[in-house]
Amino acid sequence: MNDLSNYRKSYEKSELLETQIPEDPINLFHKWFYEAEDLNAAEEVNAMTVSTIGSDGFPKSRVVLLKKFNEDGFVFYTNYQSEKGKAILQNPNVCLSFFWPTVERQIIIKGTAEQTPDQISDNYFASRPDGSKLGAIVSPQSQVIPNRDFLAQNLSVLEKEWEGKDIPRPTHWGGFLVRPVEVEFWQGRPNRLHDRIRYQLQANFDWKIDRLAP
């Protein structure tokens, strides 16, 4: 067995105090996100882990890219017929998490996911390079395929078919908007006494703010 008990790091770069935070977690997310971007806290600052509960009852996590956020929530795009898409359509309760190690920060978001309107999915799909558009069409995401050549050959056929044409969004591909109900901000601190500030959405749509023990 590989013993990793000596893997340790002291977190000392910043702090998170109640006197420094806004009433709305989206505003704090905005601040942290662009600070992480400015400080090159990760190669892809918008990379986030999406956790879902599958039909087998097991949780599953994977990394996807955040494509938009605003006061409504957080948007990413996927194949609705993928394992991830089917899990969300069956159980819309999901968890998103961001980890930016360079700034010693993590954000965990619990929320409910819903499909974005067709127009929003259409607009985003239209902005993608043609290769990405065809990739979304050619890949039966999460299904068993015989080999890599299966995808390459089908892509070659589609490239010829759609050469010089506008490529429409397939109906099984689009966005999910995750509306947050709880957002936790984690700031690494010395001696493992990390700062954890949790926002919880209330019935009146205000946010209840608490400090959690690390």
- Give pLDDT, residue 104: 95
How far apart CA 153 and CA 138 sit, in angstroms, is 10
Alpha helices in the chain (DSSP H): 25-38, 83-90, 118-127, 130-138, 148-161
Residue 50 vs residues 34, 53, 63, 65: alpha-carbon distances, Å: 20, 10, 6, 9
Residue 77 confidence (pLDDT): 98
In a domain, 4, yes or no: no
Over residues 77-92, mean pLDDT: 97
pLDDT of 101 strictly over 70? yes
DSSP state of 67: -
β-pairing verdict for 47-53 and 207-211? unpaired
Q: Which of 165, 115, 117, 113 is nearest to 137 (CA)?
A: 165
89 falls within a domain: yes
Q: Where are the beta strands (DSSP E) in the chain?
A: 47-53, 59-65, 68-70, 73-79, 93-100, 105-115, 173-187, 195-201, 207-211
**CA atoms of 39 and 206, how far apart (whole Å):** 31
Structure confidence at residue 1 (pLDDT) = 80
pLDDT bucket at 11, cuts 50 / 70 / 90: low
Span 119-129, average pLDDT = 96
Provide mean pLDDT across the span 74-97.
97
Over residues 131-145, the mean pLDDT reads 88
- Would residue 33 count as lying in a domain? yes
Of the candidate ranges 42-56, 151-165, 171-185, the one whose mean pLDDT is the lowest: 151-165
Is the Cβ–Cβ distance between 96 and 88 less than 8 Å?
Answer: no
DSSP state of 192: G
Q: What is the pLDDT of residue 172?
A: 95
Q: Is the pLDDT of residue 5 over 90?
A: no
Mean pLDDT, residues 47-57 taken together: 96
Specify whether the CB–CB gap between 94 and 112 falls below 8 A. Answer: yes
- Binned at pLDDT 50, 70 and 90, residue 3 comes out as confident
Residue 177 has pLDDT above 90, yes or no: yes
What is the Cα–Cα distance from 194 to 102, expressed in whole angstroms? 15
Q: Is the pLDDT of residue 182 over 70?
A: yes
Q: What is the pLDDT of residue 142?
A: 86
CATH number of the domain within which 83 lies: 2.30.110.10
pLDDT band with cut points at 50, 70 and 90 for residue 143:
confident
Work out how many domains the chain is built from and give that number.
Answer: 1
Residue with tokens 């400090």: 211
Higher per-residue pLDDT: 100 or 9: 100
Query: Domain for residue 205, yes or no?
Result: yes
Contact 63, 80 (CB under 8 A): no
Catalytic site residue from 148, 179, 192, 196: 192
* Amino acid of residue 26: I
Is residue 37 domain-resident? yes
Instruction: Check pLDDT > 80 for residue 85.
Output: yes
**Model's pTM, two decimal places?**
0.91
Looking at every residue in the chain, the average pLDDT score rounds to 94
Question: What is the predicted pLDDT for the residue at 12?
Answer: 67
Tell me, what DSSP letter sits at residue 144? -
Domain with 187 in it: 18-211
* 2 domain residue, yes or no: no
Domain presence at residue 155: yes
148 has catalytic annotation: no
